[in-house]
Structures are given as structure tokens and as C-alpha cells.
Structure 1
Amino acid sequence: MTSSQMQPRILIVDDETAHLQALCELLRDHNYETTGFSNGTDAIATLRSNTFDLLLTDLMMPDLDGIAMVESARSIDPDLACIVMTGEGSITSAVKAMKVGALDYIIKPFKISSILPVLVRAMETRQLRIMNAKLEHQLRAHTIELVALNKDLEQARTQAEVANRAKSTFLSNMSHELRTPLNAILGFAQILASDTLTTSLEEKKEFSRHIEEAGSHLLTLINEILDLAKVESGAMKLALEEIAIDDVLAECKTMIEPLALKRGIMVKFAENTGLTVYADRIRLKQVLINLLSNAIKYNRDRGTVSIHCAIEGDDLCIRVEDTGVGLSGIQLQTIFQPFNRLGREVFNEEGTGIGLSLVKHLVEAMKGSIGINSQVGIGSTFWIKFAKSGAVPSVSAVTADSEMRDRPEKRENEIQKSLLYVEDNPTNLRLVAELIRLRSDLSLLTAADGLLGIEQARLHMPDVILMDINLPGIDGIETRRFLRDDPKTSHIPVIALTANAMPDDLEKGAKAGFFHYLTKPIDIVQFNTVIDDALQFAADQKLN
């Protein structure tokens, strides 16, 4: 309860001084705080700078009469409870007082006992007015809040509908893109496996090549989908560092030139720029390879692709220009949407439609920006910008060929080494068996689960062990731990060969201590290289 509720403040206005003083004293005795004025002008001036709960005013006064007093007072404080008192008891004057906002009308002379209930009712009315005003204010605030919430809800619903439509479109496109290479793989595989459809040796080679190409395309699609999902979810880990642009471009040149020569496209790389950029080396190269591949694939015959690097303000800008057919304004609006190939599929060029969407996400994840300028019939220019960094000395690029270790030459009559493959899937087992059969230096041992693999390893002491991860009973990681903890088998290099290819899987593999972690599908060149490295490692251990 407020102080005004404990002791109400009454402003009394009456030009009869004796009556004014008597009324002030009587009301003070009944716990009212009173302030009296003999004219309306002074009373209104005081009301402007002070707060009162009640106004008790005479009706007939020389300067401001009671009607004018009530009007002026309520214009200052609309919640003020006003009571008019007068010796004139006409109905007309009472009606006028009520019309301007008076709550009651008291006829002089009156006893204190008759006025006290009137004052109590007036105070209750004032409190109701204040409470109603507060409730109305709260209601308006709640209404505004409800309107805002409804607006947010509608916006969220609209966004959810858009997201659902985008998801449905994405899944539909992904289903189409996955089924297309699968159709080739399964179709040609059925032809090769058929007893009724006879094929020549050349046809078998051709069909096998189609299966390999479709499988490679399918793997690229899966990898790009996984990369896109990782970037969008923020799960992709980036190793940002200062990188010499010349080194990255040299690596891209080594990888992209064979495709350009095949298409008769001239590629002009910026050289000796001395510029550096703060980015993830692998992902920056992935971005540039994607842009360069597109510029070559969708170029015109004997066209050109140019790469320019320059400082533009506070940014380092890399531009990839081509002399292709260019893109229309409508195509540019959807250029970075997943699975949108902008009608380029009519060129009969292999592609997933995910690359540019992934490129945009990768560039933005590295705190950069990407854009495109294009003119139909002239060509397109993709640009990526990163905050510039200081210059660092350029080192010679490491080409893909120099990164590959040379396979050791096979010696005639060399002693066969043994490889144990722990795998429960018959098809995967058959594939590796065929790969090992093509090597004269290896013999194959197999085990269908982890426990049997441990027994085989202890019994035969193979030179190398190839281990699946998803095995029945104990998995490949647990099997690796048993082999490592056993002094008899701890020295044998164990290579993981698995379809578990997510970053968490790779991290678990590294912690488990595998000699190398290979992911399916098998890259035959990489497979043989890793086997050779493991055999060499095993031989070096024996010498030591």
C-alpha cells in the first residue's frame, strides 16, 4: 500500500475562508492530509507540481467556479477524484458537475459524518480508475507483444515451409543424382554377370570402364554431400594459416592441366605474385580446383581460362575467368544452389551440381566472400576475396607426382610376404583377394571376425594386417588393441580398411594406432602404395 493510500491527500478549494479552515482541520483529524486554497487559480498552480488523491471544490467562486476547477484539474490528472460542494442544490448544476467528471455532489451545510463516506467512495473510485488504466496499459502491451509473437510465428512457419520445400527438393535431386551413376553401375554389372548376354573382351573392358567412371562420380557426389553437410553444421575443422598463393596455384596447375589439354583449353596462371592469404590450404585448393574444373568443362572449343591475383583495397582477390557461353541473369540468381546445374547437363558434362554450393560455404567458412560476373556469349568470372596478409617467401610447389612414393620394383623369385585380411563382408573380401592375386609378392590369409583374426595373427604371424572396423563380436578398433597389447603381434603394422570415413572415425582410427587408415571405396593405387609402405616398415623392424 502506498503512502497516499495510507493518508489520502485532499486539495480543498472554497472562497469561504472560515468554512475552508474548518473543513481542513476536521479532515486532518480523520487521517487526511489537506491543502486548502480560497481561489481556483492558486489551487490549479499547486496541482501542476504536486500529486493529490481528491479534489473537494466549492461550486460558486469568483475566479474559477467548481465546474471549471474540475475540468482544469482532470486535464492535469485524469485519475483525480473530484467532488463538488455548494449551497445551491439545483439539478442543473449537479448534472453539469457530473458531465465534466465530478464523482459526487455535496449540499452545504453538511456534517463531517455525511462527507466521510463520500470521500471513501471517491478514493475507491480513484483506485479503480488507476487499476483499470494499468490493466489497459498491460493489455495494450500484451496485445502488441502478441502481435509481434504472431508475426514471428508466421515468419517461422513460412521459413519452415521454405526449408521443408528446400529439403524435399534437395532429397529429390539427391535421389536423382545418386540413382544416375548407380543405374550405370548396376546395369553394366548385370550385363557382365549375365549368362545369356554375350559380350566380347573389348565390350567387357568398355563396360568395366563405365562402371569405374560411374563409381568415381558416385564417390565424388557422396564426398561433396558430406563436405556440404559438415560445413553447414559447422563440424568441418579448418586449419587457417598464412599461405603463399604461388604455391597453391602451382599445385592446382599440376592437377588441372591434364583436363585442360584433353579439352584443348589454354589455362593461364598468375605467376610470381608474391602474395599470401590466410586460409586453409587444402580447402582453398579444393575451391580453386572446383572453379577451374568448371571453367574448363563449360568452356568453348580452344577457349582460355585465366587466373589473376591482385590486392583490392583491404582484400586479396583471386579471379578465375573463362571464355565460355556465360550465364543469364536468371541463372545467376540460383548459381550457388545445391544440385542446380543451370541447364549445363545438356553439355553432357559430368558433374554433381553441388560443387559451387560447397565452394561458397567453404569460402565463407574461411571468412572470405565469393561472387560472379557473367555475360551470355562472352564468358564468366568467378572471384573470391580474403583479407590480405603479409608477403611470405614462396616455396616450390609439391606436385601430386612427387607426393606419391615410388612403388618398389618387384624382384624375380622374391620371397612372398603374407597379408591377413579381417573382413566379414564376402564381396569386399573377394575384391581384396583379387587385388592381392595380382601381386606376386603377397599371399592372402583371411578371417571373418576379430577373434578369429587375433588367432590367425598369432598362428601365422603375417607381415601386414588389413582390418575392417565394423566387425561382428569385437570391432576392428578393439581387435587392433588386442594385437597391440600382445607382445607376439604388437610389431605387425595394421592398416584399417573401412567405410567409416567421417572426421570422428578418422580421429578414432588415429588414436587406435593404425599404421594407415584407408576408406572405402578402394583407390587401387593408394591401396598398393600403403601395402608397400607397411611391408617396408615390417622389413625395417626385422632388421632392427
Structure 2
Amino acid sequence: MPASAHHFDDLPVAVAVVNDDGLLRDVNQTLAGLRGREAAQLRGQQVGVLLSRASTLLYHSYIFPLLKMSGQVDEVSIQLQGDKGQRIDALLSARREVAHDMGVVRCVFMRLKERGRLEYQLLTAKRAADEAPGLLFQLRRMRGEPARFTYVTDALRRLFKVAPAQALEDADVVWRLIHPDDAPQLRETLDASARDLSPWRCECRAVIDQWPIWLELHATPSQEPDGAVVWNGYIADITERKDMELGLREKASAERANQAKSEFMAHMSHELRTPLNGILGFAQLLQLQDAGNLRADQRSKLGYIEAAGHSLLRLINEVLEISRIEAGHMAVEMAPLPLDEVIQSALLMAEPLAARRAVSLSWVGGRGAMVQADRHRLGQVLLNLLSNAIKYGPERGRVEVQVAQGAGEAVELHVQDQGPGLSPAQQAQLFQPFNRLGAEHGQVEGVGLGLVITRGLIELMGGQLHVRSRPGEGACFVVRLMPATVPMPDNGDPGLPLSPDHQEAQAAAGSGVRRRVLYVEDNPINALLMQSLFEGSTAFELQVLDSGAKALAALRDGAWPDALLLDMHLADTDGVSLLQAIRRLPTWAQQPVVAVSADAMPDEIRRALDAGFDDYWTKPLDVTRIQPALHRLLSARGASGGTMSV
């Protein structure tokens, strides 16, 4: 016998030492006697020789993996295999140790007598019930008597702050904690369950230490021979679930509100842009076509009309941008970007405004920085900050732009003005929509949306916007951006959909070829504006139809214009549906078709372009850009002048 055996041979419990391969390194005589063999005969055999088949599987699939993970198991119910094949119930406690890179499991088996086994099972059941997350209970009610608890688990203390003995003596110590508004429902559902012997289901609130919680009650009733109804069930705290459900409902409500807001803003934008198209368009036409017939004061008043129209359009665009940012519908295209290019472009665009106020613009330092940003949106941000610095600073003042290294790896873009500065109270209100901090009483135009949009755009790009200012010392707006190390390829500025190209327009006009354009528009003012624009044109001949049905009929009858302009909201159809019908005509499978609409929402523009439109022109249109844009579109398609057969 090995030296280790005598250490546990005289113990009244069965002991075994098992290696990680499941081989018995040693057993004591008590364990060998249960198996009806000598200890020496068991050494070197698999541990399964001691266990029943089920317990062998349990050892390899559960006990040993648990030992490898935690190092110890206590009182696991297991079956030993006796000398005559009988099953011997036992409790296994084991510990695994590792020495010299070898794992060894030391096992102790304690036999269970029948009474001990039952007591253990009852103890285990009670422990499981007491440790369950909810309260398990049994409730009994005789007809005409109040219900009383005959069993409750210790979870009653956690849930209701009541001792089980108190509830067993008087059930009202629990029911009195139910919220007064929910107590009637609890009684009604209990009465209905007793009457029909249907499951008792109820959600109600309880007030524990003056703090409300939500409870869920489930119980199954049965009727006893003496007529009493007994419910076995549980009560669980569902406050967290209720809070989550409330959060989801609030989120859904907020999403519906955002959707309604977006739809309203889109509708408002469309309804305002439509008349603005006439106001701005005719103002531009009068200045272009009849400038020689107007007195100086009339030209000045036309300028006022156009300036007022552009101010209203700017306000519409700003409100839409804020709406899209708040709703999470504003998209940015992030890419590595040379910051120098954005600064140079913004300074160039801000120069006319600076010249009117004799303000000097200077770039005082910092070159060569690369940032991760959206080129267009970052340019919009910087131009807005420069415009504010020029407008709110003094005439003949100075505005400085500087690039600096920020905290960590951030790149900081500073815009410093010489304005009146901001107090701490003003800085706290700086980014509130429509709050101009008293500037509304001055001469500077604006509605207080520019900085709100600016901060929203910067945050969409993963950056931050801060202000440093003291009264009388001007303000420094700091844009913090993430750096980029890969230069962005210069693909050139794609420009606006209606960018002018006067040389191309003049060349086309001098060629003697008049191209046919069909405009489908049911708004008389917009139709008249387009007709007025094309009057006297030597490059284009325009026809206007006021419905989709008339346009399809004309095309089917052989009227083949070179280009189509389709309003997106016609009385008898929408632009996408009309385009699909037109594209089914063989000759119009590839001809250029442009969407013309007062709907400026990005989703609508994307939907139209995805549907197959070649371009999307947003009302109010810049009348100076329409004919050059048509020339460019037709040239890109290789279209040649044709004839319209009627």
C-alpha cells in the first residue's frame, strides 16, 4: 500500500485521489470495501469504476470542469456503485490541486441514509425557494373569511420589509402596503380567481419605505375538500422592467414627435419655398431684363425685395437644419481633410462681408494640419464663425484665425474677434435657439440659429465647440477636431446643381441650335416665371404643361423635347411616378429628366435621384443658373438639337 493510503484508511468516509485523466491514483479501504474489492485492485482504473453510469457522466461533464474552474465543489449528490451493482447515494466534496504541472483531485464521499437524503432535499428546496429572486407563497381562503398566508419564503423581508412570521400571523401587514389606487384591482382579481378557479394574475404597485415599486403576482388556485381555495404562486419586483417599458414608450413617443416635426418642417418648407420661388425669381428677372427701364429708387426697392426673400429663405434653411440635427437625420461624410484648404476657402468667401465693414481678416499661424471632418460642413462652420466675428465686432476691426494643438491629439481652430465679449451668464445661454443675447435690439441681422447649427454640425463630426470670452475683451470660438494622418484626394469642388457657365451658354446660343424643353408644372406663378425666363432665348424653346397626363399624352403623340423638367408635386401624380411612366417610353429610356421641387429635405432629394432623375433643382430657383445648367446637362448626355413634331 502506498505511503499516502494510511493517512485516510481508518476514516469512516470513502476517499479517493484522482488525476486529471480520470485515473484513480489512490483509494482508502472504506471506499474499496463499498466496491467489494481491495484498494490495490482499484488503483490505476478509471474513476467510473466507482460510480454509476449517470454519476460517471456527471463527474466528467460537470464536476471535473467545475473543479478546473473554481478548484472546489461541496456536497454534490452522486451515486456510488456497490459490490453487487446496487446504487449507493452519497454526497461528494472535492478539491483540485496542481503540483508540478499535474492536477490531482481529492474526493470525499459521504453516504446518505434515506432520512438524511430526504432532509437534504428538503433543505435544498427551502434554500432554493428562499434565494429565489421573487417571493414564493401559499395563500388559503375559506368562504366568508379573509385570506391568510400558510407559507411564505424569506424573500418577504427583501420585498416588503416584513418578517415571514408577521405575514403568517396577519396577511394584512402585506396587503396594507399595496398602493391605494391598485388595491381594488388586487381584490377583484383575487375574487375572480376564487370564483372561477382561474389563474390569479395582477400587476400593482406597493409603497415600501415611502418609495413605490411595481409588483407582478402569478398564482394557481385549487380547491380543497373543505371548500377552501389555496393559491400557490410568486410575487416579483418588476420595477426595473416597468421603467424600461416606460423608457421605450417615451422613446417611441419622442420618435413619433420627431417624425411629426420633420413632416411638418418639410411641409412648411415646401409651402414657403413655393411662393418664394415667384418672389425671388421675378425680382431677379426684373433686375436682369428691365434694369434699363427702372428708376434708381425702383431698382433699390427690388433689391430690398430680393434681400428680404433671401433672408426668409436663409431662415427656412436654418430651421430645417436644426430640425434635421435634432432628429438625427443630418448625415456627414467624414474623411481626412487638409485644414488649410478649408480656412483659405472660408476666408475668401468671408472677404466681401469683411470689406463692407472694413474688417481685416488674418491667418496668424498654424499650417499643414490634417483633420477628420466633412469638407462641406466644416467650411459651413468656419464661415459662420467668421461671419459672426465680422458682424458683431467693430468696423475697421480685426478677426484672427489660428490653428493650434489642443489637449491630447486634438487639433484646435480658433476664431478671435474684437467684439464686446460675453459675460458668464451670456455664455450659458449662447447656444439656445432664437436667443440673440440682446442683439435683436441692434442693427445686426439674424435670428439666433447660426451658433446652434454650428455646434450641432461640429458634434456630428465628433468635435467640440467652446467659447472663451470676457466682457470688453472680445470672444474666441474654439473648434476642437480629431486629427487625420492620411491626406484627402483632391477631386475638386463638385459645385452646386445649378452652377453658372456663361461661356458654354454663349457658345450654345451662337450655334443657332434651339433645344426643346418641356416643363410640367401646375402652379401658374412658377410656370409664368419659367416662361418669362425663356422669353427671347436663342438657345432654348420652352413648352409648359400643367399635368402629368398631358405630358404623357404629348410624349406618346411624338413630341420629343431634348429635356424634361418635372415638378415633384402635381395635382394628378407625383414626380417619381411620372418619371417611371416616362422611362417606359422607348425613346425616353435615357433622355435627361430634372426634378424641380420646393421640397429641400435630403431624404426626398436622395429618393428622387435614386428613382432615376438626372438632377434635382430646389425652389426658389436662381434664374441666372437655369439655362447654363441645362446646357451642361445636355452636353453631358451628348444630346443634339432636335425638332418637336406635334
Whether these two folds match at TM > 0.5 is yes
Q: CA deviation at 1:269?
A: 2.4
Q: Structure 1: which amino acid aligns with 2:567? A: D
The total of aligned residue pairs comes to 396
The structure with the larger Rg is 1
Match of 1:211 in 2: 305
Cα distance between partner residues in 1 of 2:578 and 2:415: 49
Partner of 1:143: 207
Asked whether the equivalents of residues 185 and 210 of structure 1 are also in contact (C-alpha less than 8 Å), the reply is no
Q: Give the secondary structure class of the aligned counterpart of 1:521.
A: coil
What are the within-5 Å matches in structure 2 for residues 283-322 of structure 1? 283-312=377-406, 313-322=408-417
Match of 2:576, SS state, is helix
Structure 2: distance between partners of 1:229 and 1:487: 42
Is the 8 Å Cα contact of residues 446 and 453 (structure 1) preserved in structure 2?
A: no
Name the aligned partner's letter for residue 362 of structure 1: L
Contact 1:248 1:397 in 2 (8 A): no
Tell me the equivalent position of 1:521: 620
Q: Give the structure 2 partner of residue 484 of structure 1.
A: 583
1:381-400 alignment runs, 5 A limit: 381-390=476-485, 392=487
- 1:454 to 2:549 alignment: no
Q: Could you say which residue in structure 2 is the equivalent of 1:86?
A: none
For residue 333 of structure 2, the aligned residue among 214, 231, 239 is 239
Classify the secondary structure of the residue corresponding to 2:207. Answer: helix
Q: Does 1:329 align with 2:421?
A: no
Letter in 2 for 1:319: H
- Superposition deviation, residue 288 in structure 1: 0.9
Structure 2 CA distance for aligned equivalents of residues 415 and 355 of structure 1: 46
Amino acid at match of 2:330: M
RMSD of the TM alignment (CA)?
Answer: 4.2
Structure 1 pair 508/391, CA: closer, same or farther in 2 (3 Å)?
closer
Counterparts in 2 of 1:441 and 1:522: CA distance versus 1, 3 Å: same
| Contact persistence 2:513–2:641 (CA under 8 A) | no
Residues 348-367 of structure 1 aligned to structure 2 (within 5 Å): 348-367=443-462
CA distance in 2, matches of 1:246, 1:365: 21
Distance 1:307 1:512, change over 3 A: same
The answer on whether the counterparts of 1:368 and 1:387 sit within 8 Å (CA) in structure 2 is yes
In structure 2, C-alpha distance between the alignment counterparts of 1:200 and 1:355, rounded to whole Å: 36
Distance in 2 between residues matched to 1:144 and 1:290, nearest whole Å: 55
**Aligned to 1:143, what secondary structure does the other structure show?**
strand
Q: CA deviation at 1:294?
A: 0.5
Which of 467, 482, 490 is the equivalent residue of 2:566? 467
- Cα distance change on mapping 1:420 and 1:399 into 2, 3 Å: closer
Equivalent residue, structure 1, for 2:229: none
1:2-40 deviation per Cα after TM superposition (whole angstroms, max 9, x unaligned): xxxxxxxxxxxxxxxxxxxxxxxxxxxxx99xxxxxxxx
Query: Does the 8 Å CA contact 2:422/2:469 hold for their aligned counterparts?
Result: yes
State the alpha-carbon separation in 1 of the partners of residues 161 and 582 from structure 2: 73
CA contact (8 A) 2:500 2:624 kept: no
Comparing both structures, which one devotes a greater share of its residues to strand? 2
Opposite residue 496 of structure 1, the aligned amino acid is A
**CA–CA distance in 2 between the matches of 1:260 and 1:215?**
23
Q: Which of the two has greater helix per residue?
A: 1
Check conservation: 1:244, 1:394, Cα contact below 8 A.
no
What amino acid is the match of 1:380?
A
Is the contact between residue 403 and residue 414 of structure 2 (CA under 8 Å) also seen in structure 1?
yes
The alpha-carbon deviation at position 484 of structure 1 amounts to 2.1
Match of 2:543 among 423, 428, 445: 445
Match of 2:315 in 1: 221
Q: Does 1:370 align with 2:469?
A: no
The separation in 2 between residues aligned to 1:330 and 1:208, in whole angstroms, is: 41
Match in the other structure for 2:62: none
Deviation at 1:407, TM superposition (A): 4.2
Query: Aligned partners of 2:441 and 2:545: how far apart in 1?
Result: 48
Shift of 1:485: 2.2
- State the 1:535 CA deviation: 3.6
Q: Aligned in 2, Cα 1:207/1:148: closer, same or farther, shift over 3 Å? A: farther
Q: Shift of residue 272 of structure 1?
A: 6.7
1:62-461 correspondence runs (5 A): 131=152, 135=156, 137-140=158-161, 142-144=206-208, 147=211, 201-269=295-363, 273-312=367-406, 313-390=408-485, 392=487, 405-408=501-504, 409=506, 411=509, 414-437=512-535, 439-458=537-556, 459-461=558-560
User: Identity rate of aligned residues, in percent?
Assistant: 30
Task: Using the TM superposition, name which of 222-231 and 434-443 deviates more.
Answer: 434-443
CA distance in 1, matches of 2:584, 2:525: 30
**TM-aligned CA deviation for residue 393 of structure 1:** 7.8
**CA distance, structure 2, for counterparts of residue 281 and residue 511 of structure 1:** 23
Deviation (angstroms), 1:528: 3.0
Q: Quick check: 340-349 or 141-150, which moved more?
A: 141-150
Q: Which runs of 5+ in 2 are unaligned?
A: 1-114, 117-122, 127-147, 163-205, 215-238, 284-292
Partner amino acid, structure 2, of 1:308: Q
Q: Give the letter aligned to residue 440 of structure 1.
A: T
Q: Give the residue type in structure 2 aligned to 1:446.
A: V
> Runs of 5+ in structure 1 lacking a partner?
1-30, 33-49, 54-126, 193-198
CA distance in 2 between counterparts of 1:420 and 1:146 reads 74
Change (3 A) 1:375 1:130: same
Give the superposition deviation at 1:310.
1.4
- Secondary structure of 1:269 counterpart: strand
Give the 3 Å change call, closer, same or farther, for CA 518–147 of structure 1 in structure 2. same
In structure 2, the CA distance between the partners of 1:485 and 1:133, relative to structure 1 (3 Å rule), is closer
Residues 149 and 326 of structure 1, relative CA distance in 2, 3 Å threshold: farther
* Bigger mean CA offset, 504-513 vs 534-543: 534-543
Instruction: Provide the C-alpha distance between the structure 2 equivalents of 1:450 and 1:384, rounded to a whole number of angstroms.
Output: 49
Give 1:323 shift.
Answer: 0.8
Greater CA drift, 356-365 or 433-442: 433-442
- Deviation of 1:209 after TM superposition, in Å, equals 1.5
Corresponding residue of 1:496 = 595
**How many angstroms does 1:333 deviate by?**
1.0
SS of the equivalent of 1:506 reads helix
1:262 maps to a residue whose letter is R
Q: Deviations over 1:251-286 (max 9, x none)?
A: 212211111112111111256711111111111111
- CA deviations 1:418-452 (Å, max 9, x no partner) are 21110011111111111112633222201111121
Taking the aligned partners of 1:416 and 1:134, their CA distance within structure 2 comes to 90
- Cα deviation, 1:37-86, whole Å, max 9, x if unaligned, reads xxxxxxxxxxxxx9xx9xxxxxxxxxxxxxxxxxxxxxxxxxxxxxxxxx
Using the alignment, how far apart are the partners of 1:495 and 1:457 within structure 2?
Answer: 16
What is the aligned partner in structure 2 of residue 531 from structure 1?
A: 630
Deviation at 1:214, TM superposition (A): 1.4
C-alpha separation in 2, matches of 1:231 and 1:149: 37
Contact map agreement 1:469 1:476 (CA 8 A) in 2: yes
Q: Equivalents in 1 of 2:634, 2:360: separation in Å? A: 43
On the 8 A contact 1:363/1:369 being kept in 2, the answer is yes
1:359: Cα distance to partner?
Answer: 1.1
For residues 128 and 399 of structure 1, what CA distance do their matches in structure 2 show? Answer: 78
